[in-house]
């Protein structure tokens, strides 16, 4: 009899502990929760990630691969009730920040999570520093909780692989000529050429463009792994120490050549402007000399129209008399005028 009472008492105690004391849960403001029943998450029937805007960033080949089911997500609040055969999975949706050299599976790699190594298109081994912001995607909790074993490790590997591929194939968009054989053409076209050719220089001068490329390439991370890359900020790109001085000398030479080109172009622009002003002055002088002749022609035309040929002949006679008064000698077929 005592044995049976012990079993009953134990059953009641277990029920109280499992269903009363641990049968309620709450969800914090920066958390979301998913409940599983016998290991199966509560799903929204007929809905997958392909029905959300997350699928817009997936290629057609990847849409069938990353078609995760949509789950019933429990928002902040509570207390909520769960049965003993149910389990609550809580995730934080707060934005987290990590170094781009971060590897959650090995704290010793990438110089203890400080510098990420990459290779440029001219086979230069560089060190990249920066930060990465990410958060759990509330619209794809299935991928984060059940899709992959270590989602943060996956997203860091995904980001690093894309970054290294972009660095290895990075090509800056130069509007003007950049090679020595293009400098003359760029100057004639009115451009301001910059001598380039070292990939690390292009990367340093176009960090914003590289960050924008990374943000665009990582838009599909939410649909893939359930983690949304909020922003990437690459702050430093450094060459190996053994070639740092040589690279500095190359950059100094390039800067000096660029300065000389800019100075020569400024002098050429100044001379061109002076020539334009000289042409304008000569044009105004010619116009000043031509204008009186045009007015005289207009007056003679008006005189002929109003007074006839006789008035015009009288005007010409008076003009000739004025010329004769000024002339010291007159050569004419009329002997009376030649004396």
Instruction: Name every residue whose Cβ is closer than 8 Å to that of residue 154 and which is 6 or more positions away in sequence.
Output: 148, 224, 225
Predicted confidence band at 195 (pLDDT cuts at 50, 70, 90)?
A: very low
- Comparing CA positions, the residue from 161, 162, 138, 163 lying closest to residue 70 is 138
Look at residue 258 and tell me whether its pLDDT is greater than 80: no
Q: Which helix (H) or strand (E) holds 167?
A: helix 151-168
Residues composing the chain? 339
* CB distance 172 to 195 below 8 Å: no
Q: Which residue has the higher pLDDT, 43 or 176?
A: 43
The residues, ordered by sequence, that sit 6+ positions from 174 with a Cβ below 8 Å of its Cβ are 194, 196
CA 84 to CA 37: how far, in whole Å? 9
On whether the pTM is more than 0.75, the answer is no
Under 8 Å CB-to-CB from 177, ≥6 apart: which residues?
A: 183, 185, 186, 191, 193
What confidence category does residue 21 fall into, taking pLDDT thresholds of 50, 70 and 90?
low
Q: What is the pLDDT of residue 252?
A: 72
Domains and CATH numbers, the chain: 13-170+206-239 (3.30.479.30)
pLDDT in tens, 204-255: 888 888 888 888 888 888 898 899 888 888 888 887 766 666 666 666 777 7
Report yes or no: 84 and 23 within 8 Å, Cβ to Cβ. Answer: yes
Residue 71, φ and ψ in degrees, nearest 5? -110, 155
The contacts of residue 135 (CB under 8 Å, 6+ apart) are 93, 94, 95, 96, 227, 228, 230
The secondary element (H helix, E strand) that includes residue 323 is helix 244-326
């Amino acid at each position: 009899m005592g044995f049976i009472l012990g079993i009953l008492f134990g059953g009641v105690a277990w029920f109280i502990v499992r269903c009363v004391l641990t049968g309620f849960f709450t969800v914090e403001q920066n958390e979301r929760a998913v409940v599983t029943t016998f290991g199966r998450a509560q799903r929204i029937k007929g809905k997958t990630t392909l029905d959300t805007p997350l699928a817009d960033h997936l290629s057609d080949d990847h849409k069938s691969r990353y078609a995760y089911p949509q789950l019933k997500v429990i928002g902040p609040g509570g207390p909520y009730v769960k049965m003993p055969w149910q389990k609550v999975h809580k995730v934080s949706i707060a934005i987290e920040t990590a170094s781009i050299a971060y590897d959650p599976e090995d704290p010793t790699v990438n110089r203890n999570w400080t510098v990420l190594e990459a290779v440029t298109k001219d086979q230069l081994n560089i060190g990249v520093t920066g930060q990465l912001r990410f958060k759990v995607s509330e619209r794809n909790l299935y991928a984060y909780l059940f899709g992959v074993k270590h989602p943060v490790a996956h997203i860091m590997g995904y980001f690093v692989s894309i970054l290294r591929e972009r660095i290895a194939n990075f090509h800056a968009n130069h509007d003007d000529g950049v090679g020595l054989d293009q400098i003359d053409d760029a100057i004639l076209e009115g451009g301001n050429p910059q001598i380039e050719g070292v990939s690390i220089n292009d990367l340093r001068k176009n960090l914003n463009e590289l960050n924008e490329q990374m943000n665009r390439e990582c838009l599909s991370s939410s649909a893939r792994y359930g983690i949304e890359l909020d922003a990437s900020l690459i702050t430093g790109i450094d060459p190996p120490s053994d070639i740092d001085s040589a690279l500095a000398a190359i950059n100094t030479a390039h800067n000096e050549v660029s300065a000389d080109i800019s100075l020569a172009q400024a002098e050429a622009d100044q001379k061109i402007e002076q020539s334009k002003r000289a042409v304008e002055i000569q044009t105004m002088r010619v116009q000043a000399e031509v204008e009186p002749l045009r007015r005289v022609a207009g007056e003679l035309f008006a005189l002929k129209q109003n007074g006839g040929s006789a008035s015009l002949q009288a005007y010409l006679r008076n003009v000739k008399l004025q010329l004769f008064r000024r002339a010291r000698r007159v050569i004419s077929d009329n002997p009376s005028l030649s004396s």
